[in-house]
Structure 1
Amino acid sequence: MNAGTDGTGRKQIVQEAPIVTAVTRISAPVEDVWRVLVAFDQYAQWHPVLSLDAKPEQVVVGAEIPGRRSGGDSGQQDVTMRIVYVQAPHRLAWEGGSLDAILGRHSFVLTPQPDGTTELTDSEEFFGAAVAELVPTLGQLREEYSRYGAALQARVEGLSG
């Protein structure tokens, strides 16, 4: 937590949003990784828990991506993400959830490496009224995101190899 003043001399407490990050090295160029990342209608073929119902041409800010998340305590649940940032083929960000409970801002950053591989940084920042309940599970979420990165890696490398 950072403490500052709010202009009246009173201390203001700013709590940083919890964030989960996983980094994966993929043996393929950024453009190949991007093609798989934005082929939303094919997520069910490689992603361990996410099935999406949108086409790659819907990769524009404001587009909504409906889908389903399976596994975990809640079983299968419908989800809708809204794209909030696109910088093809290097960065994609979407949000899902609600500030009344938990809102997640998920970002994928693809960084080309000198050896022709791609570094994927998969992060999610959490906000909302119930975000404190999420904090004890951040380590488990980090492991899950590493698993998602490995699944994307296997999909991309399988297609290009």
Structure 2
Amino acid sequence: MKQTPLVATAVTRISAPVEAVWRVVVALDGWAQWHPAVSLDARAEEVVVGAEISGRVSDGDGAEQEVTLRIVEVEAPRRLVWEGGSLDAVLGRHSFVLTPQPDGTTEFTDSEEFLGATPAEIIPALDQLRETYAQYGDALRVRVEGLTD
């Protein structure tokens, strides 16, 4: 029986074209400049399928956790997907989708699917994750719009 993933999603409208948003999203080594919880160690040219990216995730209280993410999909300038974790516990598949809008803005969708042996542990945190991803989207919006002004 196929497992249905648990999903947390947030959508943010950014007043900039898709290409401008994409440049900030794939400049992984610059995430620490705008993202409140993630710091990654990879340049844009390293964003290719199969690449393993190391970094750190903070919990907001000063504690950091080392992470390794594997890029599983790149469709420039519209979609980036990476995975982290394990199906033995919880595997997170995080996607960033950029959709151009008729008015020249970008709809940015930040979504994560959780799969694995124990994803039900995530259920109580899904609403909080949605709020957190909305905050991350807003931080990206501020960064991109600040660069394009």
d(CA) in 2 for partners of 1:105, 1:15? 14
Gaps of 5+ in 1: 1-12
Post-superposition CA distance 1:77-107 (Å, at most 9, x none): 0001110001000001000111121110011
Do residues 127 (structure 1) and 115 (structure 2) align? yes
d(CA) in 2 for partners of 1:126, 1:51? 21
1:34 to 2, 22, 29: 22
Do residues 150 (structure 1) and 138 (structure 2) align? yes
Partner in structure 1 of residue 58 of structure 2: 70
Post-superposition CA distance 1:50-82 (Å, at most 9, x none): 000011001110011100000158921000111
- Structure (1 or 2) with the larger CA radius of gyration: 1
Q: Counterpart of 1:115 in 2: which secondary structure?
A: coil
Q: Counterpart of 1:116 in 2: which secondary structure?
A: coil
Report the number of matched residues.
149
What is the CA-CA distance between 1:15 and the residue it aligns to? Answer: 3.9
d(CA) in 1 for partners of 2:51, 2:80? 12
* Residues 3 and 115, structure 2, Cα contact 8 Å, conserved in 1: no
Post-superposition CA distance 1:97-130 (Å, at most 9, x none): 1112111001111000000000001110001112
d(CA) in 1 for partners of 2:127, 2:38? 20
* Residues 110 and 133, structure 2, Cα contact 8 Å, conserved in 1: yes
d(CA) in 2 for partners of 1:56, 1:14? 35
Partner in structure 1 of residue 7 of structure 2: 19
Q: Counterpart of 1:57 in 2: which secondary structure?
A: helix
| Larger relative contact order, structure 1 or 2 (CA cutoff 8 Å, min sep 6) | 2
- Cα pair distance change 1:132/1:74, threshold 3 Å: farther
Partner in structure 1 of residue 127 of structure 2: 139
Partner in structure 2 of residue 83 of structure 1: 71
TM-score w.r.t. structure 1 length? 0.89
Aligned partner letter, 2:80 = L
